[in-house]
Structure 1
Amino acid sequence: MSAPRTVLVLGGTTEGRAAAAALAGRDDVRVVSSLAGAVRSPALPDGEVRIGGFGGAEGLAAHLRAERVAAVLDATHPFASTMTANAAAACAGTGVPLVVLRRPGWTPGPGDRWHRVTSVAAAAAALPGLLPGSAGRVLLTTGRGGLAHFAAVDAAFWIRAVDPPDGPLPARHELLLDRGPFALDGERALFEAVVPHVLVTKDSGGAATAPKLTAARERGVPVLLVDRPPLPGGVAVEPTVDAALARLLGD
């Protein structure tokens, strides 16, 4: 009997954990999930787990060779552009097959008041134009990174993140430490309590954090939506776990 193929799953997303669970049930696969370590108490996937970076594309390539990795599934967050670029470069340099698993982004529906921007910095620059001056109230759900861009905005912020953020923060802010998925009733209650003038968020896609968009639509709250960074050219991309695994394993 041949040794199991080693499949490296990058990312601790919901889709990454689902892929690891599916692979862990196979006798012909050894699944190893790699988590960045950005979250203090991550939900651990099935199978083997490593936590921490690789040291850029060269470090990842060395890891692929040392561990004789047969295939890589990039199931990182849609905004983890550095890791995705490193995976594309490392796999191209080693000849290891790579499939990028990306849930579809969100699309606006009737009643949505979305303002798309290209980055968190662009969202911070556009935000004052949507606020009634210093009395403005902002629900900020872009995560713990990049919050320094909002430090100079004169408004009251409610910042939702999994872990406490580092670095400069707006002078007036309240931290809402919580982890998705978020139910619609809970998001409605949050909007009722905060009464935001603007919701600032990233186009993460998926159902786990989409209810905030419904709550914003119901209350007529405009949304500053940060677009996803572009994917490296030439990579294979699939929108679902089943499709990604079928392409990756040739099943």
Structure 2
Amino acid sequence: MQRFFVEPGQVDEAAGQILICGDDVNHIRNVLRMREGEELWISAGGEKEYYCSIQSLSPEQIELKIYYISRPDYELPTRLYLFQGIPKGDKMDLIVQKAVELGAYSIIPVEMKRCVVRLDAKKAQKKQQRWQQIAEGGAKQSRRMIVPKVEPVMSFKEALDFAGQMDLCLIPYENAKGMEETRQILSQVKPGMSVGIFIGPEGGLEKEEVQLAMEHGARQITLGHRILRTETAGMAILSVLMFQLEER
């Protein structure tokens, strides 16, 4: 069943009504060709989701009737922030999509020393808009209650300052110690926490970046004996944390 996101102000629980406007109107009417009486799920970015049917359609808005409201626990109990070194080509598209599916709360594109791609302000803004659209598509597909935010492109120092607000910061690194220490660090991730995860671009993080991150409180972890591609590393640690947190 189709899922859409609206702003809280578009929901009138007392009247049992939701109004959809903007780009979703065209998508529902002309792409999906949905009609009156068809049913769909709506999320307003909180803990509730609304099971609705289409009451009326116009070029400007779509009126929905709320059948019932539920409070599913689709979201992870911990906010996971993926700080991703900007990779080449369209790899970031895939990273954003899969990070959203795996429960990331936010994705932060980061310019690191080994990044081949360098974006000026105009290109960075355009890329961010595209990545945000991909995040919304991934959220709809995976039944997220929120659309994870893709932050503006940050420098490495800006990213460290941003991560300084978080309860724990992880940095997978090929020279990190064994799996037992990594297990101990990951066991510290509890519901209610905020956790930053730093992933380098192609070629990985430079030693100076790792050292600087550790000076800011980051903890080194290992992802095993194999060297993972940049588009794989973030997915690996997100998968581990998702499984660990879902069990709790």
TM over 0.5: no
What's the TM-score, normalizing by structure 2?
Answer: 0.31
What's the TM-score, normalizing by structure 1?
Answer: 0.30
